[in-house]
């Protein structure tokens, strides 16, 4: 298999994938050719460079590699999106932020930080959206569930790891966080066509 053939196949895989692809998944696609992880990474770097001046960028996120639209072209893409993105309530947003920045945390931890109770609906909504999950259970009376964020959460924000989360020191930072979540639903910034996009979540 030639270098050019590998590039073309990788490009097609990534453009058509509905989710980010891991190195292992890409290697599997080349069976029975035994391409090493380093070989795949080398071609990904070449591919990313080739797309440097395009409207799409090849990026690495928590779930693997994907093509996504560049920020400067997103306003034009949004004009074709008829559905309005969901706007999360302040309570939902604050709950998600606490889980993301303080994980793993229990529902009681969240309530202690916010100073008010956290409804079951908020937790269920975040779980249904694929942004949080139960990581384990605290060794305490009642064994409360410990919540943390998912790879889907990082992928939707375009982050490779939880360490890449921005600072959240002021109320304005929370507004920026809200906008980032909203943008992840407005248009499929994760994938190139023919994937239709991320569905808007139900408004809370």
Q: For the domain that residue 104 is a member of, what is the CATH number?
A: 1.10.10.10
Q: Is residue 191 part of a domain?
A: no
111 and 181 together in one domain: yes
| Whether residue 100 is found in the same domain as residue 148 | yes
pLDDT tens over the chain, length 204 residues: 899 999 999 999 999 998 899 999 999 999 888 899 999 999 999 999 999 999 999 999 888 999 998 888 888 887 776 665 566 788 888 899 899 989 999 999 999 988 899 999 999 999 998 999 999 999 999 999 999 999 989 988 888 888 888 776 666 666 677 666 766 654 333 344 433 333 333 333
Are 153 and 72 members of one domain? no
**200 within a domain of the structure (yes/no):** no
Residue-level pLDDT at 170:
67
Q: Give me the DSSP letters along the chain.
A: --HHHHHHHHHHHHHH-SS-B-HHHHHHHTTTS---HHHHHHHHHHHHHHTTTSSEEEEEETTEEEEEE-TTTHHHHHTT--SPPP---HHHHHHHHHHHHH-SB-HHHHHHHHSS---HHHHHHHHHTTSEEEEEE-SSTT-PEEEEE-HHHHHHHT-SSGGGPPP--SHHHHHHHHHHHHHHHHS--S--TTS--PPPPPP-
97 vs 112: CA distance, rounded Å: 14
Could you tell me if 182 and 160 lie in one domain?
Answer: yes
**What is the pLDDT, as a whole number, of residue 137?**
95
Whether residue 66 sits in one domain with residue 107: no
For residue 194, being part of any structural domain is answered with no
**192 belongs to a structural domain:** no
Task: Round to whole Å and give the CA distance between 53 and 70.
Answer: 10
- Indicate if 38 and 68 belong to the same structural domain: yes
Q: How crowded is residue 57: how many other Cβ atoms within 10 Å of its Cβ?
A: 17
51, 123: one domain: no
> Is there a single domain that holds both residue 177 and residue 97?
yes
- Tell me how many domains the chain contains: 2
In this structure, are 68 and 99 located in the same domain? no
55 and 103 in a common domain: no
How many residues are present in the chain? 204
Residue 202 lies in a domain: no
Q: Are residues 115 and 152 in the same domain?
A: yes
Whether residue 117 is found in the same domain as residue 139? yes
User: 107 near 144, Cβ under 8 Å?
Assistant: yes
Domain range for residue 19? 3-77
pTM of the model: 0.59
């Amino acid at each position: 298999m030639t270098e050019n053939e590998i590039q073309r196949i990788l490009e097609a895989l990534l453009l058509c994938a509905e989710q980010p692809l891991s190195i292992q998944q890409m290697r599997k696609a080349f069976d029975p050719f035994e391409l090493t992880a380093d070989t795949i990474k080398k071609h990904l770097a070449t591919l990313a460079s080739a797309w440097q001046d395009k409207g799409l960028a090849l990026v690495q996120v928590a779930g693997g590699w994907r093509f996504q639209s560049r920020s400067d072209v997103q306003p034009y893409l949004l004009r074709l999106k008829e559905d309005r993105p969901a706007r999360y309530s302040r309570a939902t947003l604050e709950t998600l932020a606490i889980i993301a920045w303080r994980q793993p945390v229990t529902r009681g931890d969240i309530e202690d930080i916010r100073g008010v109770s956290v409804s079951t609906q908020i937790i269920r909504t975040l779980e249904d959206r694929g942004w949080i999950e139960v990581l384990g259970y605290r060794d305490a009376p009642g064994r409360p569930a410990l919540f943390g964020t998912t790879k889907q959460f990082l992928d939707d924000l375009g982050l490779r790891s939880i360490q890449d989360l921005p600072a959240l020191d002021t109320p304005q930072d929370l507004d920026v966080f809200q906008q980032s979540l909203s943008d992840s639903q407005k248009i499929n910034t994760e994938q190139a066509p023919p994937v239709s996009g991320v569905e808007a979540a139900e408004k809370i």
